Structure 1
Amino acid sequence: MSDSLKRSHSCGLLTKEAAGEQVVLCGWVAKRRDHGGLIFVDLRDRSGIVQIVVDPDDAGNSFTTAEAIRSEYVIKVAGKVRLRDAATVNPNLATGEIEVVAADLEVLNAAKTPPFYIQDDIDTDENLRLKYRYLDLRRPEMQKNLILRHKVTKLMRDYMDKNGFCEIETPMLTKSTPEGARDYLVPSRVNPGKFYALPQSPQIFKQILMVAGMERYFQIARCFRDEDLRADRQPEFTQLDIEMSFVDAEDIMEMMEGLMAYVFEGAMGKKIQLPMQRLTWDEAMDRFGSDKPDLRFGMELVNMSEAVKDSDFKVFNAIVEDGGVVKAINVKGYAAIPRRELDGLVEFVGIYGAKGLAWMQIQEDGSVKSPIAKFFSEAHLANILKTAAAEPGDLILFVADKPAVVAQALGALRLEMAKRRELIDEDMLTFAWVVDFPMFEYNDEEKRYVAMHHPFTAPRNEDLAMLATDPGKVYAKAYDMVLNGTEIGGGSIRIHRRDVQNEVFKAIGLTEEQAKEKFGFMMDAFEYGAPPHGGLAFGLDRLIMIMAKRDSIRDVIAFPKTQSASCLMTQAPNDVDEKQLRELHIRATLVKKDK
């Protein structure tokens, strides 16, 4: 084959309209089949697969080459497109109506046998996939995820540009301000003994950009947090970071709703119903036991404290008298649940701190079957069934404890029962805003209040006076966007006055000296005309994960880390030589952990 021949088409984009054309294709051998006299090759590139037919009468010497090729060989094929016979059309393939009759075939590179099949829906250990990530990324479903990610980020940039935002990069080497997750530290060679930190977010810089008069900023930013990992967490991640001046929370939420509508229609052809539902944090916790509620199904938490009041069941009475709460969910049509499964649910809620689980099975005749039924009068039972909106065939599950424990345990149980009862429509997109978060939460370990979002979130105007007297009762001008039970973005109106910022720092236990050391440059900026401003950040990895219907963000990141924050492909993190450490004025001393 001549070196002057260049690829003319992508494999997956050939259609029947190309019949009769001479084409040059390049790609990987997805499959080779020898049919005794004819060789069929499924040739794959990023666009898809097309069938190549190698006939000794047409291919000449290239037929011998075709006999030697194997899966994942990289080849170039020149030939003519022809329509397939009706009996051989493959309706499962975008190119299934045509095939390419090879006249010339060249091996560009041979390949070893891969450690797993390069195809979708493989049952392979994820660590093996991560070690050979370059092979894993050849699989069509993985390439589809990365192409979706590209489309989404392009649409985001287009939308922000249309609405007057300016994309500005902020520093990757910055100051350590560990008021949250742990920082990744970077030693400075030219400043011995001093360290930069990789940014957990561009928060401080984007607020300073508002002081600088940029008014509308955005950035698709890389962020770093040295924290324990989960399926939806990575040590380095990407977020769409946004800040606006001279706005209130409603302005920001309206702008972000428009962004989501633009992105989902542009990338997936799906229309989003606007405006999105709004829930206060208190309402979300009360009804769903979560500040990121999944609204694709009902089964809301019901407060049963009044319904069980003054009964003979001392367990419920004692908890309510001690400031606790009794709540329940009604699992419709599941009264016939096996006892073994009920016992398993007791263990399930125990994971979330609940000390037990009570239940009532409503029989077809309306009677109640339950170990605790004997402790309730007929009037109590009738009130319980009415409060839970229970009917014959339903199952009522109760958790009684401190409000936070009940919310966490029963909220998780609600999701678990919805999965078991197949109540969740996986094709449904249900967005909501959760607003009016508590400003602070108490950290028992540190014996102080910490910011629920971050310390630059503005308190509600009506709560300003309580910053110094009762910070636990202060609510913030904060808002999270939730999609199908996952928080995809969060933000707030920011503090733009130095005196208010000082009060917030005091509320979280920072002395004036500590605040000046960590954030002095930012506080100084506030004295030079900081405008009212606010913003939001979307977790891009998490958003793409939901759009691609994946269970882990690792499937939508090209080169992710494992649960132990390591890269199996490059073997990072790794040791460095003594010379590098000396240049950085560092000596590595490993401290053995106590067993």
Structure 2
Amino acid sequence: LPQAPQQFKQLLMVSGFDRYFQIAPCFRDEDLRADRSLEFYQLDVEMSFVTQEDVFAAIEPLMHGVFEEFGEGKPVSPIDGAHVFTNDFGETFEHKGFERLTYAQSMAWYGSDKPDLRNPIKMQVVSDHFRNGGFGLFAKILGADEKNAVWAIPAPTGGSRAFCDRMNSWAQGEGQPGLGYIFWSDDQGAWGGPIAKNLGQEPTEALMSSLGLGKGDAAFFTAGLPSVFAKFAGLARTRVGTELKLIDENQFKFCWIVDFPMFEWSEEEKKVDFSHNPFSMPQGGLEALETQDPLTIRAFQYDIVCNGYELCSGAIRNHKAEIMLKAFEIAGYDASVVEEQFGGMLNAFRYGAPPHGGLAPGIDRIVMLLAGETAIREVIAFPLNQQGEDLLMNAPTEAEERQLKDVHIRTAVPIKV
């Protein structure tokens, strides 16, 4: 993690400093968007002898307090409210604080790992309603691959052909062939649209009832491999909520995203790779790495999300050398490579490291939300553009030959062919 003090703050924990925080300037190594800046500041936090619950208990009052004090009276998610959380393995827990969603739940319900929970729409899997025919296109897609599915995007109050046609045109503008829909037709006093026509009124009624929809409502549908269409489905959910004015913008709604996959399959490299943060502790420790399918292993990783923006990312760290080496081995890295790249961390761990974890809220992005802005450059003095340039100072610019000599750098101009 060259853009953040990750390794150094972990070394502080190993050395005996059991708590650390710093307002740290960082550089982003990702593509720049409206809510991202090349240079940014984060409230970097690390603690020893903590569990995930301890980190949550420490940071929730801070985030709640900042937004309550500077949010101009907008309601903020309470930290004393009780929630019931069910993980991906069917285990249920009660907890207080911000709402929690697993990564898998967030992607399935909202099509994003940073959901805007001010939007009440929750997507559902409705494959069984199409599996045995009725609507031929979806039945064919489901039969082509057992991993394929059909998702529904409920649209309360969206029951008009004009709105459905607008959504279909929007989907085509997003590069999709279209967006299937069912809507309540007042003219016919029945469910309308191509899907309803093919399914028949009774099966359509059963489908829409399962979504909690009735007269005056509509639903949109996407089909295929969820990992491929989930992002688009999430955009469609946001579009529906915005168009139908279902989103209560006068509040700050927080949630934790937890249980990120430790590994993912890289289609490009045709191998298992890390999916989030390679220094995180896998749930189940070394035993999980040695006995489980890597793609089923969850990590002690977590994000705080507010109104659709990720405000910070963090993890309980992997503090044991043997677990770290095994995790990197699964991702295709030889022990010698890990020793060469992260030898300082490994050697420190071998002396005995306390369990530790932390996170780093982005200060600029917090200010952006509090200011009611959607572009982070609006709250940064002398911001850089999306190419990392300061247009006011005309920087960066060409370096002179004498400047390059001072730092022993030689440029190699590409050969034109």
TM-score above 0.5, yes or no: yes
Q: TM-score, normalised by structure 1?
A: 0.63
In the alignment, is the contact (CA less than 8 A) between 1:290 and 1:411 conserved in 2? yes
Residue 255 of structure 1 deviates from its aligned partner by 0.7
In the alignment, is the contact (CA less than 8 A) between 2:282 and 2:288 conserved in 1? no
Residue 234 of structure 1 deviates from its aligned partner by 1.7
Q: Per-residue CA shift, 1:551-573, capped at 9, x if unaligned?
A: 11101111211111111011111
Say if 2:368 is the partner of 1:545: yes
Residue 224 of structure 1 deviates from its aligned partner by 1.2
Say if 2:174 is the partner of 1:346: no
Query: What is residue 307 of structure 1 aligned with on the other side?
Result: 129
Stretches of structure 1 that go unaligned for 5 or more consecutive residues are 1-176, 178-198
| Cα distance in 2, alignment partners of residues 564 and 378 from structure 1 | 54
Matched residue type, 2:118: R
Q: Per-residue CA shift, 1:184-221, capped at 9, x if unaligned?
A: xxxxxxxxxxxxxxx41110001000001111101111
Say if 2:390 is the partner of 1:587: no
Residue 469 of structure 1 deviates from its aligned partner by 5.6
Residue 340 of structure 1 deviates from its aligned partner by 4.9
In the alignment, is the contact (CA less than 8 A) between 1:554 and 1:560 conserved in 2? yes
Residue 503 of structure 1 deviates from its aligned partner by 0.9
What does residue range 171-182 of structure 1 map to in structure 2 within 5 Å? none
Residue 538 of structure 1 deviates from its aligned partner by 0.8
In the alignment, is the contact (CA less than 8 A) between 1:207 and 1:243 conserved in 2? yes
Query: What is residue 109 of structure 2 aligned with on the other side?
Result: 287
Say if 2:9 is the partner of 1:206: yes
In the alignment, is the contact (CA less than 8 A) between 1:211 and 1:530 conserved in 2? yes
Query: What is residue 46 of structure 2 aligned with on the other side?
Result: 243
Closer, same or farther in 2 for the Cα pair 1:450/1:348, shift >3 Å? Answer: farther
Say if 2:206 is the partner of 1:383: yes
Query: What is residue 368 of structure 1 aligned with on the other side?
Result: 191
**SS at 1:318's partner residue?**
helix
Closer, same or farther in 2 for the Cα pair 1:311/1:408, shift >3 Å? Answer: same
What does residue range 531-542 of structure 1 map to in structure 2 within 5 Å? 531-542=354-365
Query: What is residue 160 of structure 2 aligned with on the other side?
Result: 336
What does residue range 101-120 of structure 1 map to in structure 2 within 5 Å? none
Query: What is residue 18 of structure 2 aligned with on the other side?
Result: 215
| Cα distance in 1, alignment partners of residues 116 and 310 from structure 2 | 10
| Cα distance in 1, alignment partners of residues 288 and 416 from structure 2 | 45
| Cα distance in 1, alignment partners of residues 10 and 110 from structure 2 | 34
| Cα distance in 2, alignment partners of residues 327 and 205 from structure 1 | 44
- Partner of residue 338 from structure 2, selected from 515, 540, 549: 515
The structure that has the greater radius of gyration is 1
Residue 528 of structure 1 deviates from its aligned partner by 1.1
Matched residue type, 1:573: P
Residue 235 of structure 1 deviates from its aligned partner by 1.6
**SS at 2:361's partner residue?**
strand
- Partner of residue 256 from structure 1, selected from 49, 59, 68: 59
Say if 2:237 is the partner of 1:434: no
In the alignment, is the contact (CA less than 8 A) between 1:467 and 1:507 conserved in 2? no
Q: Which moved more, 1:553-562 or 1:379-388?
A: 379-388
Closer, same or farther in 2 for the Cα pair 1:370/1:467, shift >3 Å? Answer: farther
Residue 297 of structure 1 deviates from its aligned partner by 2.4
Residue 319 of structure 1 deviates from its aligned partner by 2.1
| Cα distance in 2, alignment partners of residues 294 and 471 from structure 1 | 30
Q: TM-score, normalised by structure 2?
A: 0.89
Closer, same or farther in 2 for the Cα pair 1:593/1:409, shift >3 Å? Answer: farther
In the alignment, is the contact (CA less than 8 A) between 1:468 and 1:507 conserved in 2? no
- Kindly, what percent of the aligned residue pairs are identical? 40
In the alignment, is the contact (CA less than 8 A) between 2:181 and 2:218 conserved in 1? yes
Matched residue type, 2:257: V
In the alignment, is the contact (CA less than 8 A) between 2:134 and 2:199 conserved in 1? yes
| Cα distance in 1, alignment partners of residues 370 and 112 from structure 2 | 22
In the alignment, is the contact (CA less than 8 A) between 2:265 and 2:273 conserved in 1? yes
| Cα distance in 2, alignment partners of residues 384 and 267 from structure 1 | 44
Closer, same or farther in 2 for the Cα pair 1:569/1:435, shift >3 Å? Answer: same
- Partner of residue 35 from structure 2, selected from 232, 240, 253: 232
Q: Per-residue CA shift, 1:252-288, capped at 9, x if unaligned?
A: 0111101112222333465641111111112212211
Say if 2:237 is the partner of 1:414: yes
Closer, same or farther in 2 for the Cα pair 1:557/1:449, shift >3 Å? Answer: farther
Closer, same or farther in 2 for the Cα pair 1:376/1:267, shift >3 Å? Answer: closer
Residue 463 of structure 1 deviates from its aligned partner by 7.8
In the alignment, is the contact (CA less than 8 A) between 2:264 and 2:275 conserved in 1? yes
Residue 306 of structure 1 deviates from its aligned partner by 1.2
Residue 314 of structure 1 deviates from its aligned partner by 2.5
How many pairs align? 394
Query: What is residue 398 of structure 2 aligned with on the other side?
Result: 575
Query: What is residue 317 of structure 1 aligned with on the other side?
Result: 139
**SS at 2:305's partner residue?**
strand
| Aligned residues: CA RMSD | 2.0
In the alignment, is the contact (CA less than 8 A) between 2:264 and 2:274 conserved in 1? yes
Q: Structure 1 runs of 4+ off > 6 angstroms?
A: none
| Cα distance in 2, alignment partners of residues 487 and 342 from structure 1 | 27
Matched residue type, 1:239: Q
